[in-house]
Amino acid sequence: MPHRPSLVRRLGELRRSYTGETDSTLLPTITEGIQSLTVERRERIRGILDAGFETRLLGENSSPPPGDVLRRAVLADANNVPQQQLEAGILFALGRAAPYRWPATTVVAPMRVCAMTRPSIDGTQTVLHLPGSAAVPMIATLLPHVADGTTHGLAGLRVRVCRRNMVLYLADSGWAGSISLARTSFRQWASMLGFARVVTGHEWPVAFEGPPTEPERAVIAAGRVPGPVPMASALLRRLRILGDTMWLTVQPDGPIGIRLNWSGGRTAVQVAAALVHPLAGLPGDQFIVTRTADEPITITSLGADGAATARIVLHQAPLTTPPPFTRIDTTTAWAEFNRVMKVCAPAPPKPAELVH
């Protein structure tokens, strides 16, 4: 009788394709996720894994929806609005980092935007493993500041530097929304501020905490993140499904739309099929997937009433196609980053109390 992989191993491999996690964190998370499930629910998961789900691409479920309990056991989504807003803001910031990373040379290699995402089992937080080439311009894009009367960045974002990681959080929500950047030191944070200062012309304090400013509060009241925020948050947690891309852009596309363009990595067809998987795919029970003549694939998530709640456009450009952005020369900014990295860094400041 052929050997059948354990349920933990099968779910681990499924989750890994979305998050890029290694066994050291992946398997304990999956084990914790399914250990509280009843025998019947575990068998239900096995049945879903054994069955095809291709009809979901055309809006039809071949079997009853798995429900939130089973989905959380495999790959939980953010369960509160501040967490969703923070994750959506980070997704769009990563999607704007490509012009800062694009090399001046004609030789281009895959430049993964994200090495790993680690959503917690309860959905309350996410740990991101980002290469420095993506994390540094992302921070420069995210840091809130006012220029020419306009508030830029993610309003309310604040940063707390811990011993081995940086925690990004929303000052107006306390710890209801937070994301950890793994393996990021105080020296790296100070260097990121140097990079951001050169790029934007604005200077932030090293101890970047405290309540939102009045301009930030105005943006927060108007809506700090555009587009379908819950869906953008879900995409961030599954960002490794794209594979190692040459470049990636992510943009809001109207009130319910998100547009992803990339080169290299997995095809748009492969990504679309994975994103409608009933256990590990995007939240939702009904999707319509369409393809147009110029190749983009559109995933439309439908609500219980049949109305569209979110729309994601996926487009993989050929490797020979020039990217849809103008390269930004960051030579001086990276020189400042490296200069600060070489300076003997002082001890991190003591964290201030969070302001709710």
Q: Distance between CA atoms of 7 and 45, rounded to whole angstroms? A: 9
Identify whether residues 331 and 275 lie together within a single domain: no
Identify whether residues 106 and 187 lie together within a single domain: yes
Q: Distance between CA atoms of 121 and 136, rounded to whole angstroms? A: 28
Identify whether residues 109 and 248 lie together within a single domain: no
145, part of any domain: yes
Identify whether residues 125 and 65 lie together within a single domain: no
- What are the tens digits of pLDDT across the range 28-39? 999 999 998 999
What percent of the chain lies above the pLDDT cut of 70?
Answer: 95
Number of structural domains (the chain) is 2
356, part of any domain: no
Identify whether residues 85 and 217 lie together within a single domain: yes
90, part of any domain: yes
- 29 is written with which tokens? 């998370």
Type of residue found at 214: E
DSSP state of 55: G
Identify whether residues 85 and 166 lie together within a single domain: yes
Identify whether residues 209 and 267 lie together within a single domain: no
- What are the tens digits of pLDDT across the range 85-120? 999 999 999 999 999 999 887 777 888 899 999 999
Identify whether residues 335 and 198 lie together within a single domain: yes
Q: Is residue 293's pLDDT more than 80? A: no
248, part of any domain: yes
Domain coverage including residue 49? 7-75+238-317
Identify whether residues 117 and 211 lie together within a single domain: yes
pTM exceeds 0.85: yes
Identify whether residues 217 and 107 lie together within a single domain: yes
Contacts of 311 (CB under 8 A, 6+ apart): 228, 253, 254, 256, 257, 258, 298, 299, 300, 301
Identify whether residues 259 and 188 lie together within a single domain: no
Task: Render 23-34 in DSSP notation, one character per residue.
Answer: HHHHHHHHHHHH
What percent of the chain lies above the pLDDT cut of 90?
Answer: 77
Q: Are 158 and 172 in contact (CB under 8 A)?
A: no
134, part of any domain: yes
- What are the tens digits of pLDDT across the range 238-274? 999 999 999 999 999 999 999 999 999 999 999 999 9
- 54 is written with which tokens? 């291709």
18, part of any domain: yes
Identify whether residues 139 and 216 lie together within a single domain: yes
Q: What is the largest CA-CA distance in the chain?
A: 71
Would you state the pLDDT for residue 40? Answer: 95
41, part of any domain: yes
